[in-house]
Amino acid sequence: MFSKTLTSCGVLRALEPWHAEEFAAHLDRAREHIRPWVGPSFVTTDVAGARATLHRYAERAARDGAGIYGIWVAGTLVGGVMFVEFSTATGSFEVGCWLEPGAEGGGHITAAVRELLAYAFDERGMHRAEWRCRSDNERSSAVARRIGMSLDGVLREAWPVEGVFHDKQVWSLLAGEWGARARD
């Protein structure tokens, strides 16, 4: 089983359909906190919905697409990271994340995203990473800055949440920039 201890002391491993009950319990702790920042299909309300979300990611991962990974701290699922998109044809991928409130500030997301970037750039030979977040999501923007991404621009009113449209930032990191950071 894939398992990676993060510099934050969390553990990163694949989040699979058989984790549905644990994922649902985690979402119960995180739901209202993450609801404004993630897609509505991600914020499920029961075990069946959690299982469906994890199945969607498992199916996409099997097609060499998206993947989802949980972050466990002291044996409890507290959040995770994912390849929202992963296209070997274009050499580009998008990374996303979520975290329950009690786990914020420990560096778990930054450490986990670095692991996904290392995998995509170093092992898979991908060219471009993207990070998309609401413009008012200061924590998410801070992660993008910490990992060395550049703000490419803002998509105006591109993120609808409960009938309100919010601006979306698009950040990126290129393979050469990642490689230069590794050499520093």
48-95: per-residue pLDDT in tens? 999 999 999 999 998 888 899 999 999 999 999 999 999 999 999 999
Strand 128-134 and strand 92-99: the pairing is parallel
Confidence tier at 183 by pLDDT (50, 70, 90)? very low
Residues 99 and 81: their CA atoms lie apart, in Å, by 9
The strand pairing partners of 41, in sequence order, are: none
Say which residue the tokens 């029961």 belong to.
46
pTM of the model: 0.92
- Domains of the chain listed by start with CATH number: 4-183 (3.40.630.30)
**Mean pLDDT across the chain, nearest whole number?**
92
109-142: per-residue pLDDT in tens? 999 999 999 999 999 999 999 999 999 999 999 9
pLDDT at residue number 162: 84
